[in-house]
Homo-oligomer: A and B are copies of this chain.
């Protein structure tokens, strides 16, 4: 970790701050130029999904307040909800201690998951089975206009 980066906040008191430009310049993007971003519903605390951002996606998200990821499968910016209408509005973005993961506190319109469920984490490992523990809010065929 560069001494210019977020690690300077490790022993800093509540309310202390660093310039975002300085922290951004030292963020730990991986070899593909990506950083993982966890989306959490800001009021209920439900963890909705995990996806990836490149620098452009992060900067767009902060500038517009609408969450934009990088789609690894499509190789393009992915403005969450562009196909389904189920957008994520950013309430606050947080960085972890070593500057290699983002936590996004969001307000999710409808389901975050392409299956129509609120959260992507609906598979619980229970004993020797993996059980579905949440139902769709919306039929995915309706969500994507199939």
Chain A: residues with CB nearer than 8 A to chain B? 6, 9-21, 23, 36, 38, 40, 44-47, 49-50, 62, 92-99, 101, 103, 113-115, 117, 120-135, 140
| Structural contact, A96 and B124, CB atoms closer than 8 A | no
| Structural contact, B129 and A20, CB atoms closer than 8 A | yes
**CB-contact partner of A94 in B14, B20, B122, under 8 A:** B122
| Structural contact, B93 and A125, CB atoms closer than 8 A | yes
| Structural contact, B96 and A17, CB atoms closer than 8 A | no
Cα(A103)–Cα(B16), bound, Å:
31
Given A20-B129, A38-B50, verify A120-B96 contact (CB < 8 Å): yes
Of the A-B pairs whose beta carbons lie under 8 Å apart in the complex, a sample of 18, sorted by A's number, is: A6-B130, A11-B140, A13-B135, A14-B133, A15-B132, A18-B129, A19-B129, A20-B125, A23-B130, A44-B45, A47-B47, A50-B101, A92-B124, A92-B125, A95-B125, A96-B121, A97-B123, A98-B120
